[in-house]
Amino acid sequence: MNLRLSIPFFKKRFYLTIVGGPEQRTHTRLKEERHTHPIRSVVNILFAVGVVGGAAVLMLLNVNSG
Q: Is the pTM of this model over 0.85?
A: no
Domain, as residue range, for 43 = 2-65
The CA distance from 34 to 32, in Å, is 5
Cβ atoms of residues 7 and 16 within 8 Å: yes
Q: Which residues have C-beta within 8 Å of that of residue 13, sequence separation ≥ 6?
A: 6, 7
Q: What is the pLDDT of residue 64?
A: 74
The per-residue pLDDT for 66 is: 61
Residue 25 has pLDDT above 90, yes or no: yes
When divided into structural domains, the chain yields a total of 1
Q: What angle do CA 48, 54, 57 make, to 5 degrees?
A: 140
